[in-house]
Amino acid sequence: MTMKTRNILLSMMLGATLLGVAGCNDFLDHSKPKGILSEDDIMKPEYVDNAVIAAYAYMVSGEDMNSSFQLWSFGNVRSDDAYKGGSNTEDGSHMHYIEISNGLTTDLWTLDDMWYRLYSGVARANIALRSLQKIDEASYPLKSQRMAEMRFIRGHFMFKLKEMYKYIPVIDENIEQNIEAYRKVSNRVYTNDELWQKIADDFKFAYDNLPVSQADKGRPTHAAAAAYLAKTYLFKAYHQDDVKTNKVTSINADDLKQVLTYTNPQIYTNGGFGLEDDFAYNFLPYQYENGRESIWAVQYSENDGTLYGNLNFAFQLTAPQGVGCCDFNKPSQNLVDAFKTDDKGLPLFTSYDNKVYNNLSDNVDPRLFHTVAMPGFPYKYNTNVEYTESWARAPQIYGYYASMKENVDKECSCLIQNGVFFANSKNWIVLRYADVMLMRAEAEIELADLGAEGGNLEDARQLVNTLRQRALDSRTLIFDYNAKYKIGKYTTAWSVDEGRQALRWERRLEMAMECGRFFDLVRWGIADITLNDFYGSEKSRRSYYSNASFTKDKNEYCPIPQKQINYSKGVYVQNCGW
C-alpha cells in the first residue's frame, strides 16, 4: 500500500481551501460545492455556513476503513473484546501489531495517517471558527450557536487524539496561519491534566451556547455537550501526573463531581433523551435512527446524488463474508463468555472464561445476541438469513463470531456495494444515554471510595440495575432463539470493591464492540494486567497470541509519529516507552 506523505502542519493549512462539501444526511444535503475560496470570501456571511458544513462533512468524507475515526482497531481489537480478523495475520498487518501490542513502531503508517486526518478535522472546525469570529451577531444571528457547534466538533476530534496519543499539540483558531507558527507549538505546552481541561473548555462553551434541540439531527445539542463534558472529566479524573509513566497516580474528586453535574438526568430529560425500550433499537437503520437514546450520532445517507452515498465507510472491513467483505473486528471468545450468568442471572466474575459459551446449557445475558453473530442463529434478526460457519473467513485463526452493532441485515437496502467492499447508511451513535448512566455510576462509586461528597453506592447500584432490567426486556427480536436468557439485578448493598467490579463489568457488556474498551482499561490503570492475562489465556485458542505482550508505561498510548516529530523540527517530544 502506497501512503502519501502528510503532516499536521499541512493539514492545518489545507483546511482553508477545502470548502467544497459532499452531501450528508439532513442539513448537509443542501450544501453544494463552492470551489476554492479565499480567506476574504469565507469571512462573508453568505459563505459561513459552507465552512461550518465542511467541518461536519469531514466526519464522513475524511473516513478511511484502514484507520477509522471510530477507532475500532484501537478500541476493540487492541483490547480483550475483539480479534483483528481478515484472511490471516498479514491481512491488515498494522492492525495485527495493534492487536498483539508487539511490532508497533514510531514510523508505522497508520499512526501517522490517523494523526493527520484527526487534525484535519480540527482544521475544518478552526476555519469555520475564524470566519465566525469576524462576523457580527446582527448580520449572522446564529453566530454563537454555530461557534458552539464548531467547538464541539473540534473537541470531538481532540478527544480522539488525546486518548490515542496522550500528549498532543493544541491548535486553535487563533494561531497564525503559517507553517512556522505551527512548528513552534509543542505537544508538551500543557500537562496531561491541562490537556484534558483544554478539551473540556471547548465542550463547556458548547454546553453554554447550544440549544436543547436541533432541527438538523447531526448538529449537537445542549445534552450532547453535557455528555461529552462528562466523558472528558471522567477521563481527566484518573490523573497520570508522572511524565515518565502512564500509571494512574490519583483520582480527583473535583473532576468526578463535574461528571455528576453533567450527567444530571434532568439535562437529558429536557432534551427528550432516555433509554430505548429494547437494546437492539440502538443498532438498527431507518426508523430506529436518532432514537431517544442517541444523544449524538454521525449521520450517513444513501441515494443522495453522490456515487455510492455518504455511507459509513469506517466499518467497510467488518461485514462477515456472508454479507460481503472482509470479516474484520471479530468478537473474542473471552467477550462472548463474559455474557454468561449464574443461577441468579449475575456475571461469573472469576470463572466466566473457564469454558466456552454453550447456548444449550449456559445462562446468558440477552445483550450477547445483539452484539455478536453466532452460527445457527438469524443474522440481524432476519429469520430468512441464518448466520453459518461458512460466513467466517478464517475460522482456524479468528473463530466463527462476527460483530453485529455496526452491521446491517444483508437484505437491507441501506447496504451498498462499493467495489469489493460493502458499506451501509446506518448512523453511528457516538454518545448514547446508557453511557451517561454508566459514567454517573462510575463517578458515584469512585467518590464513595474517596469519602467525598457525591459518593453514592446505592444510586450507582440502581443505575446498573436499570440497565440490567432493560437488557432483560430486550428480547423482542430474539424471543424465539434457542438460548437460556437469565439476567438478574444486584439485590444487596455494595461495598466500593463490589460496586467497582459490577460497574466495570456492566460497562464492558453494555458498550461491547463500540470502540471504547481499550481506552476504559487505560483510564482505570489496568490495561497491562488485563491484556497480559488475556493474551495468556487466549494463546491456547489463537496461537498468534504467543507473540503478544503488553509493555506497561508504553503500550497504553500510541507513539507520536516520527514523521510528525521530524516536521516539527524536534519540537514534539516522544511519549514514554517509545
Residues 211-253: tens digit of each pLDDT = 999 999 999 999 999 999 999 999 999 999 899 999 999 999 9
Looking at residue 40, its pLDDT comes to 65
Question: SS3 of 347, please?
Answer: strand
Question: Distance between CA atoms of 273 and 280, rounded to whole angstroms?
Answer: 16
Residue 76: pLDDT over 60: yes
- pLDDT mean over 141-154: 97
Residue 29: pLDDT over 50: no
Looking at residue 401, its pLDDT comes to 98
- One-letter amino acid identity for 572? Y
Question: In Å, how far from its chain's centre is CA 116?
Answer: 18
Please provide the size of the chain in residues. Answer: 578
- pLDDT mean over 13-22: 38
Instruction: Estimate the crossing angle of helix 527-538 against helix 517-524, to 10 degrees.
Output: 130
pLDDT in tens, 258-277: 999 999 999 999 999 999 99
CA distances from 337 to 255, 356, 494 (A): 34, 6, 24
Looking at residue 177, its pLDDT comes to 73
Looking at residue 41, its pLDDT comes to 67
Domains of the chain from N-terminus onward: 39-258+515-577 (1.25.40.390), 274-513 (1.25.40.390)
Q: Could you tell me the three cell numbers for 328?
A: 474484520
pLDDT in tens, 352-387: 999 999 999 999 999 999 999 999 999 999 999 999
Q: At residue 315, what are phi and psi to the nearest 5 degrees?
A: -110, 25
pLDDT in tens, 154-182: 999 999 999 999 999 999 999 877 778 88
List of residues 6+ apart from 63 with CB closer than 8 A: 69, 312, 313, 314
Confidence of residue 30 (pLDDT cuts 50, 70, 90): very low
CB 527 within 8 Å of CB 521? yes
pLDDT in tens, 50-68: 999 999 999 999 999 988 9
List of residues 6+ apart from 264 with CB closer than 8 A: 226
Q: What percent of the chain has pLDDT over 90?
A: 87
Residue 378's beta-bridge partner residues?
Answer: 386
Question: What secondary structure letter does DSSP report for 544?
Answer: G
305 vs 153: which has the higher pLDDT? 153
Confidence of residue 307 (pLDDT cuts 50, 70, 90): confident
- The helix (H) or strand (E) run that includes residue 85 is strand 82-85
pTM for this model (two decimals) = 0.93
Confidence of residue 14 (pLDDT cuts 50, 70, 90): very low
CA angle 372, 374, 377 (to 5 degrees): 115
- One-letter amino acid identity for 27? F
Q: In terms of Cα–Cα distance, which of 301, 295, 332, 264 is closest to 78?
A: 332
Kindly calculate the radius of gyration of the chain based on its CA atoms and give it in whole angstroms. Answer: 23
Q: Which of 25-29, 163-167, 308-312, 449-453 has the lowest mean pLDDT?
A: 25-29
Residue 3: pLDDT over 50: no
529 vs 46: which has the higher pLDDT? 529
Burial class (CB in 10 A: 0-12, 13-18, 19+), 194: exposed
List of residues 6+ apart from 96 with CB closer than 8 A: 84, 89, 90, 103, 544
Looking at residue 340, its pLDDT comes to 98
Per DSSP, the residues of 209-220 read: HS-S--SSTTS-
Count CB neighbours of 290 within 10 A.
Answer: 17
Q: In terms of Cα–Cα distance, which of 206, 286, 193 is closest to 240?
A: 193
Residue 347's beta-bridge partner residues?
Answer: 341
Peptide bond into 326 cis (omega under 30): yes
Looking at residue 26, its pLDDT comes to 35
436 vs 180: which has the higher pLDDT? 436
Confidence of residue 193 (pLDDT cuts 50, 70, 90): very high
Looking at residue 182, its pLDDT comes to 81
Q: In terms of Cα–Cα distance, which of 31, 32, 34, 36 is closest to 16?
A: 36
- pLDDT mean over 541-555: 97
45 vs 37: which has the higher pLDDT? 45
Residue 205: pLDDT over 80: yes
Strands, E assignment, 401-470: 402-403, 415-418, 421-424, 428-432
Are β-strands 250-251 and 238-239 bridged in parallel, bridged antiparallel, or unpaired? antiparallel
Question: Distance between CA atoms of 563 and 316, rounded to whole angstroms?
Answer: 28
Q: What is the mean pLDDT of the chain?
A: 92
Confidence of residue 305 (pLDDT cuts 50, 70, 90): confident
Residue 564: pLDDT over 50: yes
Looking at residue 424, its pLDDT comes to 95
